[in-house]
Amino acid sequence: MDFSLSEEQELLQDTVRSYTANECPPPRVREVFDGESGHDADLWKGLVEMGLAGLAVPEAHGGAGLGLLDSALVCEVLGAGAVPAPFLGHTLAVLALRLGGSAPQQERWLPALASGDRLGTVALGEAGGAWAPEEWTLSLQGERADGAKTRVPAGPEAGLVVVGGAGGALGLVDASAGGLRWSAEDSLDRGRRLYALELEEVPIETLAPGTGARVRDAALVLLAADAFGAGTRLVRMAVDYAQARQQFGQPIAAFQAVKHQLANMALDIDPTRGLFWYAAHAFDHLPEESARAAALAKAHITDRAMQVARDAIEIHGGIGMTWECDAQIWFKRALFDRQWAGTPDTHRARLADLGGW
């Protein structure tokens, strides 16, 4: 038994952590957050150079050939830093191709995704919160697709869009082929902007059946990991603030009530780490447990992280409610992780079904 990270995995986290801490410290996070596009091309270029774009791409296609756990560990670091980078959508697009692409499709797209020449994204959700593959309605019959998707990351920055369609199928759309109409949604998490996508007579190639559900499961794991990172950082921010903020002649951290609130926050988020580790591990190695473990990780971690985010704002007092306080950025990061791809209740209902309850 070995429920721990390998040295390589710890090194991967350290590397990404120190790179993003240097290149994208909180003031830079805020610049991008408040900026026009929410996209930081230089930062993404740097992350691509570190190999993150190809992390999940098989070595044969120019990637590192690593498992979902490795991608999740990167998400944890990105969530902790509230790093504005299109890693989530890109990685899911890579996985869609890896799991459901034909040899020619993989040959054509994976090297470009690994090298960062193309940015990938996924268009899964539809209006009304339809995130479950069985709820998707967009038709992938024929060689051209028409329809609308919502809450798509990266949007016009993307060069390849993996689109979810009726029956839980996935299709590949080359964004450079035209016919895609993007419109920006007024995103709450401005470090990961979302777009509505309309497809009109767009050429599309389908991937192997069943891939939609697998990609959704991977999304749940990555979101859980991101929320874990954001949540642990929010605890740290609350602790630091409580140590610095003086009231009644002492740091508020010295009040037992505040101290216990902080301890409860740590207790809320810290023990959930294993849920995403296990879910990521199961995704690659224990297929029969994968869907349920992913649902459990997403439901539990993002709910706990959201509670921690609320508590962190409360510890910050009024200042935590302002745009200029960094806590709001991480709060919205955690909220994105919670709401995107279905809320905790939705996934709890699924995991009850999957458990045969």
Partner 1 sequence: MDLEFGASYQRLREEVREFCAAHWPPRGEEAELPPRDQAIRFRQRAIEAGILFRTVPREYGGAGGETDVLSETVIRQELDAARTPHRSSVQGTHMLVPTLLECGTEEQKQSYIAKTLTGELRWCQGYSEPGAGSDLASLQSRAELDGEHWVLNGQKIWTSQATEADMMFGLFRTEPEAQKHAGISYLLVPMDTPGIDARILKMINGGQDFCEVFFDDARVPAANIVGRRGEGWKVSRSTLKHERLLIGDASGARRSFDGLLDLARRAQRGGQPAIRDAGVRQRLAEIEGYVASQEYAVARMLTAIHKNEDMKVMNEMLMAKLLSTNTGQLVARLAMELLGDEGLTMPTAEDAAMGIPSEYTDSYWVSHSMMTLGTAIAGGASNIQRNIIGERLLGLPRDPRKG
The footprint of its own copies (CB under 8 A) covers 255-257, 260
Tell me which of partner 1, its own copies, none is bound by residue 129, counting a contact when its beta carbon lies within the kind-specific cut-off of 5 to 8 angstroms.
partner 1
| Segment interacting with partner 1, rule: CB under 8 A, options 137-145, 197-205, 213-221, 269-277 | 269-277
Helices 287-316 and 256-269 cross at an angle (nearest 10°) of 160
Give DSSP secondary structure letters for 17-61: HHHHHHHS-HHHHHHHHHSSSS--HHHHHHHHHTTGGGTTS-GGG
Q: Which residues pair with 147 in a beta bridge?
A: 199
Rank residues 177 and 349 by Cβ distance to partner 1 and give the closer one.
349
Give me the least distance between CB of 264 and its own copies, in Å please: 11
Tell me which of partner 1, its own copies, none is bound by residue 299, counting a contact when its beta carbon lies within the kind-specific cut-off of 5 to 8 angstroms.
partner 1
Tell me which of its own copies, partner 1, none is bound by residue 272, counting a contact when its beta carbon lies within the kind-specific cut-off of 5 to 8 angstroms.
partner 1
Which strand ranges, in their side-by-side order, compose the sheet holding 120-123?
A: 120-123, 160-165, 169-174, 205-206
Rank residues 1 and 257 by Cβ distance to its own copies and give the closer one.
257
**Distance separating alpha carbons of residues 232 and 227, to the nearest angstrom:** 8
Among residues 136, 277, 283, 330, the one that binds partner 1 under rule CB under 8 A: 277
| Residue appearing with tokens 């830093």 | 81
CA angle 301, 9, 59 (to 5 degrees): 110
Site string for partner 1, 6-35 (x = CB under 8 A): x-----------------------------
Of 141, 295, 151, the C-alpha closest to 217 is 295
Interaction between residue 328 and partner 1 (CB under 8 A): yes
Rank residues 254 and 354 by Cβ distance to its own copies and give the closer one.
254
Tell me which of partner 1, its own copies, none is bound by residue 176, counting a contact when its beta carbon lies within the kind-specific cut-off of 5 to 8 angstroms.
none
Q: Which residues pair with 120 in a beta bridge?
A: 160
Total binding residues toward partner 1, as defined by CB under 8 A: 85
Give me the least distance between CB of 254 and its own copies, in Å please: 10
Of 202, 150, 192, the C-alpha closest to 171 is 202
CA angle 284, 289, 294 (to 5 degrees): 75
Dig out the tokens for 174 from the structure.
């080359």
Site string for partner 1, 288-327 (x = CB under 8 A): --------x--xx--xx-x---x--xx--xxxxxxxxx--
Rank residues 85 and 258 by Cβ distance to its own copies and give the closer one.
258
Among residues 2, 7, 36, 288, the one that binds partner 1 under rule CB under 8 A: 2
| Residue appearing with tokens 């150079």 | 49
